[in-house]
Each structure stands twice: as structure tokens, then as C-alpha cells.
Amino acid sequence: MSEQPTNGTETPGAVVDLLGLLAYAELVAFFRLSEDASLAPTLADKAELAQLATVEFGHYTRIRDRLVELGAEPGAAMEPFTAAVDAFHAQTAPNDWLESLVKAYVGDGIAADFYRQVAELVDPGTRELVHEVLSNAGHSEFVVARVRAATENDPKIAGRLALWARRLVGEALGQAQRVAAERAELAGLLVGRVEGAGGDLAEIGRMFARLTESHTARMNALGLST
Amino acid sequence: MSEQPTNGTETPGAVVDLLGLLAYAELVAFFRLSEDASLAPTLADKAELAQLATVEFGHYTRIRDRLVELGAEPGAAMEPFTAAVDAFHAQTAPNDWLESLVKAYVGDGIAADFYRQVAELVDPGTRELVHEVLSNAGHSEFVVARVRAATENDPKIAGRLALWARRLVGEALGQAQRVAAERAELAGLLVGRVEGAGGDLAEIGRMFARLTESHTARMNALGLST
């Protein structure tokens, strides 16, 4: 029924850390998207953001179940990451509907990139989960449509939202670096190696650079320059 | 692909009203449960309430899709009922975690009773939807466990929550009567007949009495006397 935590080269502590971080991030994403929906101009838009929220909650339940399979207690696994994730959201509360849409899109995109990067670094069971979560990601086409409609004829709004997106990524990377510094095993997993004390910070920097690059590509697709 | 709105004895206006009311109630239930989850003492409890919220959202999407099938615009169908549903929630914001649990349980129970009562009064397609929604209702076993644990050894808490449940039902019935008074066709549908101007208020009263009775039975099951 349940698998035992793996040992040795698969660094179970790091995998539990990773899943704990992702679980908490998804759970909070659910609550934040639900809350941000209050900014929606219409009931239909409100419901669309709620739909995105329920997708994040689905991810959360899958990751939580995997933690239980690995013999970890989900609450304890999430706990080390609540401060960083909460700080990110405290710093990035959207001021209006368009900011909340861009935040949903940027957050979903960074999360997907991150899942993709770590998928190859973990045990097969966890990898399968990551691919499942990825295949069920997104549903954010409506975000692209809404943002494009608002910015197409108004470069001022486009400029403001581009700045906002840059700030979101900056805050996300800042909190990610904080997490990497505090959780040596997790940082080691993320750079594809296991070291007792910390991983290679330059390698982590390169991973963050790759995330930033694909973020830029997404912003271009959205009609926002970075 | 899509069915035409039915005419004549099936009172499409009343069915659209009914579905609009239910859709909006489910959508708001999603947002309120998400918000009330902030009162949860643990991450696990928070996630449990979020789970209930996503079930309500699932109901919303099914009802919305049915409205579209019937040729109605969901936003327009919900609009006449926003004031009453919003007023109910404004009057019943929970003050703590236990109140939010009792509200989730009471709301879910009344909604289920209501669905059951109307299931036989509508066209076959809508009836099927109602049965589907009902078969996917609940998941609130954890609510019973939490409330029982809190009240078992503390009659004072039990008394406070029993009062709270009574207030919830009172507010719900008050808003329901307001809706019945304003929407004659819907009121007619609910009492199983179609009248041009208003339905039989005594019959509506009896329907409400049946809802109240099964509420009392639920409260007893929960260990709260009414």
C-alpha cells in the first residue's frame, strides 16, 4: 500500500522538502486565487478565476497524497516553507483585476517550469506525479485573452503590467533563494547533486536564470515586454 | 447539441430562475468556504474546508453548463438572486472555526434538502443534473468529527453552536421567503404548480417547514439540540 521512504542517493529528505514546498505553494495558490476573484468585474470572470483555483487545489491533493505514500506527514512537510510562500504573497497582493490575472498567469508559468526542471531529478513515483500535475496545468487561456484585450490599445496599461510581472518574478526568486539557502538538501536536489552542506549556488543561479528566460518568453506571448 | 428552452407547462422561466439561484448560491459557497478556511487551526483543516469549497464549485460548473444548454446566459440567470444570497452571507459571517464548520454543514444540508425537493418538479434533463449534484454532495464527515470533538465535553460550546445553527436557518428562510415573494414563477415551481402571480404562500410555508424538520434531525445527529 504505502512505499517506504527511499534512502541514500535519492535523498528522501530533499524529496519530502520539495513536495512539502510544492504542496504548500499550491494550497496557498488556491486560497489567493479564490480571494483575488473578488476583484473580477463580472460573475463569469470571477468563476474563471475560481476554476483556476480549483485546479491548483487538485494539484495540492495529489502532492499531499504522495507525501503520505512516502510516509511523511503533510503538515510537517509543508511547515518549513510557509514563511517564504506567505512572504511572497504578502509582497504581491494584486491591486486590481488585471494584476491578479497577470499574477495567476506568471505564477502558473513559473510553477510549470519548476515542475519540469525537477521532474528528472526525483524518484520515478514522484516523477509520474509531476507529469500528471503538468498535464493538468494551465486553463489560463482566458487570462491571455483578458490581458491582451486590456493592453492592446493601451501601452500605458501594458507598461504597468510588465513592471508588475517583473516584480512578481523578482519576489519569487528572492523567496526561492531564501529557501535554497535554508534547505541545503533541497538545494542539492535542485541542482542535480547531493551534498551535505548546501549545493552549488552558481548552479542554482543558472537554474533561476533558465526560469527567468522562459518567463520572458511567456511575457512576450502575453504582449508584455520585459 | 443544445436543447431549446422548453415551453408551456414546464415553465422555462422558473427553471432558469431555479438554476440561476442554485448556481449563484454554489459559486458564493465556494468563495465563502475558501475564505472561512482562514479560520482553520491547522493546515490540514484548512485544506479540508478548501476541499468542500471545490465540491461546491463543481456543482456550480454543472449548473452553469445546464443553463447554457437551456439557452440561458448564466450571469443574467444568477443576477436576480445575488442580493438575497449576498445578504444571507453578510448576516452570517462566522466568528470562529467552529462556527464556520457548522455553517458549512448546515448550508450543505439545506442545499441537499432543497435539491431533493425540487428534483421532481423539473424537466428530466434538469432532474438528472440535480441527482448528479446530490450524489456528489457532502464530504462533510470531517465537520461532524470536529464539531463533536469540540462539543462533547463542553455543553457551553454546544449551546452556542446550536444557537448559531438556528440563526443560520432563520436567515436562510428569511432570504428564501424574500426570493419567493419576488419571483412568482419560481415560487410556483417550488410548490409544484404554475400560477401567473405568486404560488400558494401556505404551500411554500409547508415546504420550508419540511426543510426545517430535516435540519433539526441533522442538528441532533451533530450532537446539537435545537
What does the pLDDT look like over B191-226, one tens digit per residue?
Answer: 765 444 444 667 767 777 887 888 888 888 788 876
- Among chain B residues, the shortest Cα distance to A51 is held by B57
What residue in B sits closest to A26 (Cα-Cα)? B47
DSSP string, A42-88: SHHHHHHHHHHHHHHHHHHHHHHHHHHHTT--HHHHHGGGHHHHHHH
**Would you say residue B226 lies in a domain?**
no
The answer to the question of residue A226 being in a domain is no
**pLDDT at B197 (0 to 100):** 40
Query: What average pLDDT does the structure give for chain B?
Result: 84
ipTM of the complex: 0.77
Distances from the Cα of A154 to the Cα of A103, B49, B109, B158, angstroms: 19, 41, 49, 57
Residue B1 inside a domain? The answer is no
Which positions in chain B touch A64 (Cβ < 8 Å)? 47
Smallest CA–CA separation between A43 and chain B, in Å? Answer: 6
The rounded mean pLDDT for chain A is: 84
A97: Cβ contacts below 8 Å, ≥ 6 apart? A39, A40, A41, A45
The answer to whether position A149 is within a domain reads yes
Considering only CB atoms, A57 lies closest to which of B43, B54, B60, namely B54
Average pLDDT of the residues in B124-145: 81
Domain that holds residue A213: 8-221
Residue B11 binned pLDDT confidence (cut-offs 50, 70, 90): low
Task: Tell me if A2 is assigned to some domain.
Answer: no
| CA atoms of A84 and A89, how far apart (whole Å) | 9
Which tens digit of pLDDT belongs to each residue from A141-190?
A: 888 888 989 988 888 999 999 999 989 988 988 888 888 888 888 887 77
Give domain status of residue A23, yes or no: yes
Residue with the three cell numbers 411554500: B204
Residue A2: band (very low, low, confident or very high) from pLDDT cuts 50, 70, 90: very low
The shortest C-alpha distance from A130 to chain B (Å) reads 20
Q: Is residue A3 part of a domain?
A: no
What pLDDT was estimated at residue A201? 64
Whether residue B90 is predicted with pLDDT greater than 80 in this model: the reply is: yes
pLDDT confidence of residue A138: 59
Domain count, chain A: 1
- Cβ neighbours for B161, distance < 8 A, ≥ 6 positions apart: B98, B99, B102, B147, B151, B224
> CA-CA distances (angstroms) from residue B170 to A37, A148, B91, B110?
29, 46, 11, 12
A135: CATH: 1.20.1260.10
The secondary structure of B3-39, three-state, reads CCCCCHHHCHHHHHHHHHHHHHHHHHHHHHHHHHHHH
Asked whether the beta carbons of residue B31 and residue A34 sit closer than 8 angstroms, the reply is: yes
Q: Is residue B3 part of a domain?
A: no
